[in-house]
C-alpha cells in the first residue's frame, strides 16, 4: 500500500488484516518491539492535534522506531510559505513514512503525490481521518468479537461529523449491520450518506429520541453537538441535553452495549458513566495506537 488518505483506500481484506495484526500486537507486544528499528516516522502536524500526534508517535516508538517532525505550522517551513509538495519532498529524504495532519482538505493527497515514502492522513480539516475509523472498527471487534451483524447507534452531530460518516461507510461493507441514527432535525445525516447506505442495501432508521433508541443497540457511538452548528442559542439550549448520555438514559440499554466516542468529550457523556463497564471510549484511544502500529507495519513491511 502506497499511502492511506481515506478509509476507502482500504478494502475489507486490508482492514481485517490490520485488525489481526493489532490483535497479535496486543497479545505479544515483545515480538514487535524492534520491528521498526532504524526507521523514522515524520509526524508533520500543520495544525496542533496532540491526541493524534501522541498516538502516532507512541505507535512508532513501541515498534522500536524513531520520530521526527513538528507539531504546528508555525515551527515548520510552511510558515515561510513553502508548499506541501516541497515540504514532503524534503522530508522524504529523512523519513521512511509520513503521518500528516493539515487544516486544509486534500493536503495529505497532495503530499502523497509528491512524497517518495508512504503518507498517512492523520486528519485533513473536517474531511478524512482514516486512522480514527480504524481505531473505531478495532474497538468494536475487540469488544463484540465481530464487526458484522450489529445494531449500531450513532448520536449527536450526524450532519457535519465526518468521523461518523466514515464509520458508517466502513461498517456498511460488513454483512448484517443496521444503523440507528439519533440526532436533532438540524443535524441529520446528509443525503449522500443515506444514498450510500441505500445503494449498499444497509437498513437504517432515523430518530430524535436517544432514550427510545437505546434498548436495541449493540454499539452506541456518541459525538459532540456543537453550539456553533445551531442558528440560535435557544435551539441549542433546548436540544443539548437530549443528546447527553446519562446513567438514567442507560437504564433501558443492553448489558453488553458498548459506548464509544472519538474524544475529546465535552459533556455529551456524563462522567458518571466512565465507571460503567460498557464505556469504551478510553479503550478506543489505546486501540487507536495498536491500529496505527499495525498500519505502519503494513505500509513499511508490505513494501519489501
CB of 115 to another protein, least distance (A): 15
- CA separation for the pair 241, 60 (Å, rounded): 40
Q: Which is nearer to another protein, 83 or 212 (CB)?
A: 83
Q: Answer yes or no whether residue 79 interacts with another protein by CB under 8 A.
A: no
CA angle at residue 239 from 165 to 187, to 5 degrees?
25
Nearer to another protein, 124 or 157 (CB): 124
Smallest distance, Å, CB 206 to another protein? Answer: 23
Binding footprint of another protein, residue count (CB under 8 A): 15
The stretch near another protein (CB under 8 A) out of 11-19, 33-41, 120-128, 229-237 is: 120-128
Give me the 152-191 binding string for another protein, x by CB under 8 A, dash otherwise.
----------------------------------------
- Decide: is 73 part of the binding site for another protein (CB under 8 A): no
Query: Pairing between strand 66-70 and 40-45?
Result: parallel
Q: What is the C-alpha separation between 121 and 111, in angstroms, rounded?
A: 9
x/- map, 272-291, another protein, by CB under 8 A: --------------------
Closest distance of CB 219 from another protein, Å: 26
Helix (H) or strand (E) holding 238: helix 233-240
- Could you tell me if 130 and 121 are in contact, meaning their C-beta atoms sit under 8 angstroms apart? yes
Whichever of 149 and 190 has its CB closer to another protein, that residue is 190
The answer to whether the beta carbons of residues 239 and 225 sit under 8 Å apart is yes
How many residues are there in the chain? 304
127 binds another protein (CB under 8 A): yes
Q: How far is the CB of 127 from another protein (least distance, A)?
A: 6
Residue 138 Cβ vs another protein, minimum distance, rounded to whole Å:
25
126 binds another protein (CB under 8 A): yes
DSSP string for residues in 7-61: GGGS-HHHHHHHHHHHHHHHH-GGGGTTTTTT-EEEEEESS--HHHHHHHHHHHH
- Show contacts with another protein in window 82-111 (CB under 8 A): 83-85, 102-107, 109-110
C-alpha distances (whole Å) from 158 to each of 2, 64, 121, 154, 296 are 31, 39, 22, 8, 30
Q: At which residue does the C-alpha cell 473536517 appear?
A: 126
Q: Write out the H or E segment, with its range, that includes residue 289.
A: helix 281-301
Rounded to an integer, what distance in angstroms lies between the CA atom of residue 268 and that of residue 223? Answer: 7
Q: Binding of another protein at residue 29 (CB under 8 A)?
A: no
Known catalytic residues are: 51-52, 80, 101, 129
Q: Which residues bind another protein (CB under 8 A)?
A: 83-85, 102-107, 109-110, 124-127
Amino acid at each position: 500500500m502506497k499511502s492511506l488518505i481515506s478509509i476507502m483506500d482500504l478494502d475489507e481484506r486490508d482492514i481485517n488484516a490490520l485488525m489481526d495484526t493489532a490483535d497479535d500486537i496486543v497479545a505479544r507486544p515483545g515480538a514487535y518491539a524492534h520491528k521498526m528499528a532504524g526507521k523514522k516516522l515524520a509526524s508533520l502536524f500543520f495544525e496542533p492535534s496532540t491526541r493524534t500526534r501522541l498516538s502516532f508517535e507512541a505507535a512508532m516508538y513501541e515498534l522500536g522506531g524513531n520520530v521526527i517532525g513538528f507539531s504546528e505550522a508555525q515551527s515548520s517551513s510552511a510558515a515561510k510559505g513553502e508548499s506541501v509538495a516541497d515540504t514532503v519532498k524534503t522530508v522524504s529524504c529523512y523519513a521512511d513514512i509520513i503521518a500528516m495532519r493539515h487544516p486544509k482538505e486534500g493536503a495529505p493527497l497532495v503530499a502523497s503525490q509528491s512524497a517518495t515514502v508512504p503518507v498517512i492522513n492523520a486528519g485533513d480539516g473536517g474531511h478524512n481521518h482514516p486512522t480514527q475509523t480504524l481505531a473505531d472498527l478495532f474497538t468494536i471487534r475487540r469488544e463484540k468479537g465481530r464487526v458484522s451483524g450489529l445494531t449500531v447507534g450513532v448520536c449527536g452531530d450526524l450532519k457535519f461529523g465526518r468521523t461518523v460518516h466514515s464509520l458508517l461507510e466502513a461498517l456498511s461493507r460488513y454483512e448484517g449491520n443496521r444503523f440507528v441514527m439519533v440526532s436533532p432535525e438540524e443535524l441529520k445525516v446528509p443525503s449522500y450518506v443515506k444514498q450510500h447506505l441505500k445503494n449498499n442495501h444497509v437498513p437504517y432508521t432515523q430518530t430524535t429520541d436517544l432514550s427510545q433508541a437505546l434498548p436495541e443497540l449493540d454499539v452506541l457511538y456518541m459525538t459532540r453537538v456543537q453550539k456553533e452548528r445551531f442558528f440560535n442559542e435557544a435551539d441549542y439550549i433546548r436540544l443539548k441535553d437530549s443528546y447527553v448520555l446519562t446513567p438514567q438514559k442507560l437504564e433501558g440499554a443492553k448489558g453488553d452495549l458498548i459506548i464509544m466516542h472519538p474524544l475529546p468529550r465535552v459533556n455529551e457523556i456524563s462522567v458518571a458513566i466512565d465507571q460503567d463497564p460498557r464505556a469504551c471510549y478510553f479503550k478506543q484511544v489505546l486501540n487507536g495506537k495498536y491500529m496505527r502500529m499495525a498500519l505502519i507495519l503494513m505500509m513499511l513491511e508490505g513494501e519489501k
